[in-house]
Structure 1
Amino acid sequence: MKAISSSITKVVALIAAMIVALGTFGLAAAHADGYDTNTIADPDANGTITINRVSGDTQTRSFNGYRLASLKDVKTDSTGTALGSFTVETNGKYTQVIETVMGQITDTSTGKTLLDGYKANAWYYNTSVTPNINNPLGYIAATYGSVAETAEPWGGDNADGAKDTVMRQFADKLSAALAADTTTYPADADLKIGSNTVPQGLYLITETTNLANATDPGITGAAVNSAPMIVSTTYLLKDTAGNEATITTGVGTINLKATSPTITKQLTNGNTVYGDAKANPDFSIGDEVDYELTATIPSYTGYDIDTAGTDNTKARVLKIYDVAEPSLTIGSADSVTVTVTPDGSSTATTLVKDTDYTVETSTDSDSTDSYKGGTKTVINLANYVNMRAGTVSAKQGTVASGGTITVTVKATLNSKALESVSDASTKTPIKNKTSLGYSHQPNKVTDEHVQPGGEVNVYTYKFQITKKNREGDTLPGAQFAIKNNADGKYLTWTAATDTDGKNGTWGTLADKPTAAAQTSAAPADQSEPNAKGIFYSGADGTVSLNGLKAGTYTIEEIASPSGYLNINALLPSFTVTITPTYEQDTSTNPYANDAAKKASWGDYSATGLTISNSKDSHDLGLVTASTSNSGKVDVTNVTSVTQLPKTGAAGIAFFAIVGVALIGAAALFAVRARKARQAV
């Protein structure tokens, strides 16, 4: 066997460090002559491979270890702490499959396959001697161990879209070949995160973490699998005096670049905002609803890349999906804003639409649940993660792996929400959900895994007025004005005119609407009076006010039906207050260990609702309290003062006005009487 030169030693640093671990366990330079400080005692003695996870990644990960070769004639360098020289000896179990893989890879500098070059080199392949020499991994190390990449994509296609490095092709193709024949090539070791004890040597390590089973507590995302790695163990050496030493310098440790991408979503505006993000999730129809989606950028270490946008087989995938129920209208693509923040940084860079990412919206026709007919929005970040021309990543020379993509999506609560109005008995959420699609297998970069990111709820509420007379009969034709006490403005309602019933909306007036003439029936088409802020009681005496956010509303009767007193002092005015109870949805909250941030996360579910009303402002007993928290209020009209249920301040004032009028009339009569007597 041939002692490997300084280029050979780089196989460990380059196949492992450059492909995946970014140089954390590169070997010291080897010397053909070596030193006599220590020598290997037993090639099959145990060493260790320690696999360190990325900070913040708590995913349970599993790996197969294939012992491709052992090291013989190992000596340390002059310090006695690192490897100095050694001989690579291919494990006979893998000789055939390694040679097969070598036949699939062409050295572009020679135009020949690796297998051709290997069989032409008698140092590594010679069948004319006994025993035969078959050392394909030694040839790979000696010939291609000096191939280095020092920037993205760390072993995948070069950033200019050129062919994969020889080492990357070898690791990927060998990994695929072993996985395709597990009967012939069972793994030599099952490895995990942390320290693993295995026989000394060079190992191909492939991750076997199952995305479908990535359900560890506290994990909202699933794993991106790491690229295949060739790793050296630590070594137990013994000098001539029998003293032992364990070589750990530059060997035996892998720092993974594989991550567990996550995506979360929250509401960032609402009826009442507390703190920076916390919002009550209730809206009136026509209100803007703002969402923030936050995703972790996966690590694409060792993954192919399609910088030119011409080779779909090598195109990295990163997509953010936002799906809204039909009650939420997602505006144009300009309603989406995307920023990227590198890991550990507080500075965000705004990405440019159609350069860094694209936005596509479509009607969700695939769903079989409440999302059917809603809007599906896809924010496709392929340009960014493939570092294509003009992108932020191309300018910065790197994809911000482990950093954060933040997406703002603006929606509008449309009048389709009238089908999902909540009251005290039924709290019906209007839902919006998100998910993250990304490359997760280094040898199948276009294979997309979609990780759900949870749902966020919003609500809209209703109450009802029923107009009655003193006998309890319902009265059509009463006119009402509705004021939102939060801003003091009167409400208008414009009915939907589109075929899908989405463009109806609440609006406002600065001034109180002026009543129309008294009538004994509501207009056949209430669209026009509603749009002017006048709401008539219908044939059944009711006025239904649906699709309103929580808060307090003042209901003012501005005209009674024909035949009923229409004096302002006797027209009821009262308030209705909608008070929901919300509970934070912890399933989408990423801040389990940060109380302050957890408390301000904007994702809530309604757990209760109280709808209450006041007495009429004149305290005449014309307004009945909502029974059983139903949100239904009875309002009475009378034909004469004698029908008032009770006399309050307004009644006293009314009688005072009548009394003054009578006194005035009596005085006038007296004056006229005196004049009449004088004239006689």
Structure 2
Amino acid sequence: MKFTRGSIAGKARYAGLAFATALSMVPVAAFGANLNGNTANITINGLSEGDTITAYQILDRDYDPNTNNVTDTFIPGTGLTLEDFQSLTSDGDTYVKGSAMQQAADKIASAIKAGNATALDTKSATADGQGTAAIADAPAGEWLILVTAKDGSVEKVYQNTIVSNAPVVENGKYVAKDAEATIKSTKETVKKGVGTTAEDAERAKTADGKYGIGDLVPFVISTTIPNYPANSKHRTFVIGDAPSAGLAIQNDTANPITVKVDGEPVNATADDGSTNYTLSLDNGVLTITFDEDYILKHTGAKVLVNYQSKVTSAAQVTSTDITHNKATITFNPNPYEDKTSVPSDIDEVKTYGLFFVKKGDGKALEGATFKIKYAEEVNGHKVGDYVKDEDGNDLESTSGADGYIFFEDLAKGKYTLEEVSVPSGFQKVADIPVDLTGDTKDNPGTKTVEANYQELDDVEDPKVGMLPTTGDAGTIGLTAAGICLVAGSAFVIAGRVRRSKDDQE
């Protein structure tokens, strides 16, 4: 029967009986002190700094110099016998999903974590900045390596791995054999973007001026279901999204949240009544919790979540308070421990504003009200439509004592400003065209450091009873001439009336 050490440790394959035979052919004197307290080092690579490895000895190899016999002691309580373990192969250097060696590693790990099996020895170490954890002078044999990821920072599910530091015969001598392995893992990440496809999730991290108040922003989350072992004790997989102020996730008939797994739409409840996942939208936070059985049936499957968020009047408040969404996934890096990691991805939605000073008689004018209209078709809005807030109300701004009129939470583009209410004694101005390109000024009307406003020229209302003084001196001259002509005409008419009366007399 063949005994093969874990492939992670190397390509060499052992034959348990053949190894014992080889040792019996080596002179007893060749071993001497080398056998007593035989140990070797174990080095595990491929970790993240702060991860902890726990090495469980599942096989102890002992040599009796008096009889030239090698004795292997295998961990009891796993459901595997020594003969079962010795017959395994490791599919080369990779633990292939579903392979016999991987299944054995998972089964042994489950038995140890469930308390059904007790390791022959246990060692532990923490990964350094290079992602390496080292255990010195570990008793010779076979070791199951489990990884406990540093909470909250690791994006990996580590595979249960068996490595061997059993001694080998070289040149007729028994020598210790250090074990060094790069542990296998699957990277679990979440990508979030503006758009609808997995490619959008990878690249579209900022919507800069594309959406404004009341608009629906399409978002997409792209991730994969973790590759959990079949007998893992903990199988957590939760997708979440917590938007900042200024974005409200929608989930209604017109704008539903949808989930696809490997490209196929998946409902929360399966046709047979079983649960695939539960979806909640509490206090504006999206949470999709997958069922453990569903996770196990779909390990490694690609997941795409699509939904829309409405831009609200709480969008960007300050230069550092950019409106954003933070998507997360929660999973167990070590599925035999109830500890989770939560990688995340953030994207932004930038909006802009405009301001100007309303004047009358050359001074700041209080009480003038403006509305803002679209001057081009964008995001489903038609030319001439008033810009509305998230509740469907027209945006409007009324000047205070300082005269400031301002609008915020806008997308870049062309607009028209319309004065809809004029202070007593003044006349409204003609509509004002605006090309909002997205400047970085602060709005004096709010006295806040926003760094996303565009300043317009001052706008002056003419007084009632006066013609607008928006022209030049020539315009004023023509007006005066007109008045003189009217007065002269009246004088001529009056003279004619007097002459007519004198003739009659």
Task: Specify the TM-score bucket, using the shorter chain as the normaliser.
Answer: 0.5 to 0.7
Cα gap change, 1:572 to 1:554, in 2 (>3 Å) = closer
**Other-structure match for 2:392:** 505
Q: Deviations over 1:393-428 (max 9, x none)?
A: 4xxxxx338xx644443211135x2xx5536xx654
Deviations 1:291-347 (A, max 9, x none): 3434465342x4526xxxxxxxx573221111224642222276445566xxxxxxx
Does the CA-based 8 Å contact 1:466-1:537 persist in structure 2? no
Q: In the TM superposition, what whole-angstrom CA distance separates every residue of 1:170-215 from its partner, at most 9, and x where no partner exists?
A: 443346659999xx95538889848876467323233354523x7x
- 1:639 and 2:464 aligned: yes
User: What whole-Å deviation, never above 9, does each CA across 1:487-514 have from its counterpart, x for those lacking one?
Assistant: 593352557xxxxxxx5137xxxxxxxx
Q: Which of these residues, 303, 323, 333, is aligned with residue 430 of structure 1? A: 323
What is the letter of the counterpart of residue 286 of structure 1?
Answer: G
Q: Letter of the aligned partner of 1:316 in structure 2?
A: R
Structure 1 residue 609 corresponds to structure 2 residue 461: no
Partner of residue 288, structure 1: 216
Which ranges in structure 2 are unaligned for 5 or more consecutive residues?
Answer: 442-448
Q: Shift of residue 438 of structure 1?
A: 1.1
The equivalent of 1:376 in structure 2 is 286
- Is this contact kept in 1: 2:243–2:326, CA < 8 A? yes
Alpha-carbon distance change, 384 to 247 in structure 1, aligned in 2, over 3 angstroms: same
Q: Would you say 1:400 and 2:300 are equivalent positions?
A: yes
CA contact (8 A) 2:415 2:436 kept: yes
Note if contact 1:550-1:579 (Cα within 8 Å) is conserved in structure 2: yes
Q: Look up the match of 2:70.
A: 87
- Structure 1 Cα separation of the partners of residues 422 and 496 of structure 2: 42
Alpha-carbon distance in 2 for matches of 1:25, 1:409 = 51
What SS does structure 2 have at the residue aligned with 1:386?
A: helix
- Determine the C-alpha separation between the residues in 1 that align with 2:190 and 2:159: 20
Is the CA contact 2:240–2:285 (under 8 Å) kept in the aligned structure 1?
Answer: no
Tell me the residue number matched to 1:127: none
Q: Which amino acid aligns with 2:266?
A: V
Q: Look up the equivalent residue of 1:258 and give its one-letter code.
A: S
Cα deviation 1:459-496 (Å, max 9, x = unaligned): 545555665532747454x564534456593352557x
Alpha-carbon deviations, 1:530-559, whole Å to 9, x = none?
48xxx5857977755343235564434477
- Identify which of 117, 123, 146 aligns with 1:207: 146
Find 1:449's aligned residue among 325, 333, 340: 340
1:613 Cα offset (Å)? 0.8
Alignment partners' CA distance in 1, 2:12 and 2:258: 40
In structure 2, the CA distance between the partners of 1:436 and 1:154, relative to structure 1 (3 Å rule), is: farther
Matched to 2:242, the amino acid is V
| Kept in 1: contact 2:88–2:100 (CA 8 A) | no
For residue 256 of structure 1, what is the aligned residue in structure 2? 183
Q: How does 1:62-81 map to 2 (within 5 A)?
A: 62-67=52-57, 68-72=59-63
Deviations 1:242-279 (A, max 9, x none): 6x89989xxx564523345333434459xxx9x96253
SS in 1 for 2:214: coil
Q: Give the partner amino acid of 2:330.
A: G
Contact 1:319–1:381, Cα closer than 8 Å, also in 2 = no
Aligned residue for 2:83, secondary structure, equals helix
| In 2, Cα distance between equivalents of 1:188 and 1:361 | 40
**3-state DSSP class of the match of 1:385?**
helix
Residues 575-606 of structure 1, C-alpha deviations (whole Å, 9 max, x = no match): 48573559xxxxxxxxxxxxxxxxxxxxxxx9
Alignment of 1:148-547 (within 5 A): 152-153=97-98, 168-174=106-112, 187=123, 193=132, 198=137, 201-212=140-151, 221-227=154-160, 229-233=161-165, 235-239=167-171, 252=179, 254-268=181-195, 277=204, 279-282=206-209, 283-295=211-223, 297-300=225-228, 302-304=229-231, 316-325=235-244, 327-332=246-251, 335-338=256-259, 349-350=263-264, 352-354=266-268, 358=277, 360-364=279-283, 374-378=284-288, 380=290, 382=292, 384-387=294-297, 393=298, 399-400=299-300, 405-415=303-313, 417=314, 422=317, 428-444=321-337, 447=338, 449-453=340-344, 455-463=346-354, 467-470=358-361, 472=363, 474=365, 476=367, 478=368, 480-484=370-374, 487=377, 489-494=383-388, 503-505=390-392, 530=394, 537=398, 545-547=407-409
> In the alignment, which residue of structure 2 is the partner of 1:522?
none
Distance in 2, matches of 1:232 and 1:453, equals 36
Range moving further from structure 2, 571-580 or 658-667: 658-667
Number of residue pairs the alignment of both structures matches: 462
TM-superposition CA deviations, 1:85-141 (whole Å, max 9, x none): 983333xxxx9xx4xx53xx6x6xxxxxx8xxxxxxxxxxxxxxxxxxxxxxxxx31
Q: Deviations over 1:16-65 (max 9, x none)?
A: 45xxx599665358549845897484445565655453xxx655544344
Distance in 2 between residues matched to 1:178 and 1:198, nearest whole Å = 27
Would the alpha carbon gap of residues 209 and 436 (structure 1) be closer, same or farther in structure 2, given more than 3 Å must change? Answer: same
Which one-letter code corresponds to 1:638 in the other structure?
K
* Aligned twin of 1:396: none
Unaligned runs of 5+ in 1: 75-84, 108-113, 115-139, 158-164, 215-219, 306-313, 341-347, 365-373, 388-392, 394-398, 496-502, 507-529, 583-605, 616-622, 624-634
Kindly state the Cα deviation for residue 234 of structure 1 after the two structures are TM-superposed. Answer: 5.7
Conserved in 2, the CA contact under 8 Å of 1:62 and 1:193?
no
Give me the TM-score of the superposition, normalised by structure 2.
0.67
Distance in 2 (alpha carbons) for counterparts of 1:655 and 1:208: 90
Asked if the contact 1:285/1:414 (under 8 Å) is kept, the reply is yes
Q: Which is worse superposed, 286-295 or 186-195?
A: 186-195
Change over 3 Å in CA distance of 1:323–1:278 after alignment to 2: closer
Q: The residue matched to 2:327 in structure 1 has which SS?
A: strand
Find the aligned partners of 1:245 and 1:536 in 2 and give their Cα distance.
85
